[in-house]
Copies of this chain bind each other. A is one copy, B any other.
């Protein structure tokens, strides 16, 4: 998971503040590092990157002093490449044809193969991110103009990439032919923006124009906005369901669907498929299960309560799990509201189960507060397979649903009952067919054969 943002203006302005704000709105997509890159008055690419949250990694005041016509930014949650300062993005380099900067959300599945090929031709890699292979592919086509070199690079890539690219004085957006990760275009006056999610357009007061399409390259420069295609065979749409289920912000609109609306619908369909007739109240695991819980409550006409309080300093403050902390059975992150539990049948809705530890803990806490029965409802199908397209899921052995069946899981978390959303309900809530959604983490169906054959030769 990462977030990208880009801005283009026909005249120099403090665009880096827009990028700073855009990244701030995309902070939920990556907290490990943040960075911006832009083209300076002298035509050189500049970049500032740092570890941690946008606020810690970047200095708003210094950024506000810069004027530029084109800028990009990135927030990173490490996937391929490990957690290193050297892997912070945007990646900026100057090659024989000038400066280039790239911010990348996604994960290439042929990144290593390309890197080996390039090393045999003299390339030296500085980072372990996939993104660097894109720049080296361009540098090895130094005889072509930069935009052609970029297109020549993209057509060799396999996997997930939503890119914001700085190319000379142009802003370029590109989305892989499968459309794994979201990418949108926006406008505010004559300033053009690209962003991973529409909530980042809202924060800069820009209007959502449309999604960048799978396989599309959008070039923004002084001549306006042009749309090109990545020259490969059209692919099946592999849009990620988890963006709707968990990752994206509820106020974003992805590929035309409101994330908020999808989440409530997931809850409603879950209530239809797995009702819980005698329950006294429905609550959501904060904050991931809240909207689905509200949908569940509406559909089932059971009262919705915000019955689990989340310490709002969690995330800023890390409590070490010392022996004493374990002994105290500490309610560090989550605390059930005591008087709501006493003698009640409670439905707890969460978006998904990964390792199962949080579910187990909350059931225990609720029983400790006097809940009579706790029913767990999950607003997505069981996650059984790792993601190779940009989401940092654990290996199968650590996925609770890959290790045991529903009864086993029920026993382990200590719930009276446990139910998952059906796959067809997921497609219905998202409003797309089974073949227009990536189901790899539920079904294990990854990119196959003809989807991935590419000729590397430069």
Contact = CB atoms under 8 A, between A and B. Distances in A.
Contacts of A123: 95, 122-124, 139
B251 A336 contact: yes
Contact of A17 (B204, B303, B322): B322
A202 B308 CA distance: 13
Contact of A121 (B60, B94, B122, B124): B122
A183 B365 CA distance: 24
A95 to B, nearest CB: 5
Contacts of A64: 320, 322, 324
B55 A316 contact: yes
Interface string A425-458: 0000000000000000000000000000000000
A28 B312 contact: yes
Interface string A259-298: 0110000000000000000000000000100110010001
A21 B93 contact: no
A205 interface: yes
A14 B258 contact: no
Interface string A307-319: 0010111011111
Nearest to A127: B126
Contact of A332 (B14, B21, B304): B21
Given A123-B122, A317-B53, A322-B64, A339 B304 contact: no
B60 A320 contact: yes
Contacts of A331: 202-203, 205
Contacts of A313: 24, 27-28, 53-55
Interface in A101-144: 119-126, 135-136, 139-140, 142
A81 interface: no
Contacts of A21: 319, 325, 328, 330, 332
A95 B126 CA distance: 10
Interface string A13-50: 11001100100110110000000000000000000000
A338 B258 CA distance: 9
A181 interface: no
A142 B120 contact: yes
A386 interface: no
Given A136-B122, A251-B335, A306-B291, A18 B61 contact: no
B204 A340 contact: no
A165 to B, nearest CB: 16
A250 interface: yes
A395 interface: no
A290 B312 CA distance: 14
A183 B170 CA distance: 49
A190 to B, nearest CB: 14
30 contacts: A14-B324, A17-B322, A24-B311, A24-B319, A25-B335, A53-B317, A55-B317, A60-B322, A64-B324, A93-B126, A94-B124, A95-B119, A96-B120, A96-B122, A119-B139, A120-B142, A121-B142, A124-B124, A199-B309, A203-B330, A204-B328, A205-B331, A249-B309, A251-B309, A258-B338, A260-B339, A260-B340, A261-B339, A291-B306, A294-B305
Interface of A: 13-14, 17-18, 21, 24-25, 27-28, 53-55, 60-61, 64, 93-96, 119-126, 135-136, 139-140, 142, 188, 199, 202-205, 249-251, 253, 258, 260-261, 287, 290-291, 294, 298, 303-306, 309, 311-313, 315-320, 322, 324-325, 328-332, 335-340
What are the 3 tightest A-B residue pairs by CB atom distance, in nearest-first order?
A55-B317, A122-B140, A96-B119
Given A120-B142, A123-B139, 20 more contacts: A24-B317, A27-B313, A27-B317, A28-B312, A28-B313, A53-B316, A60-B320, A60-B322, A93-B124, A96-B120, A119-B139, A121-B142, A122-B142, A123-B124, A202-B338, A204-B328, A205-B330, A250-B337, A251-B335, A258-B339
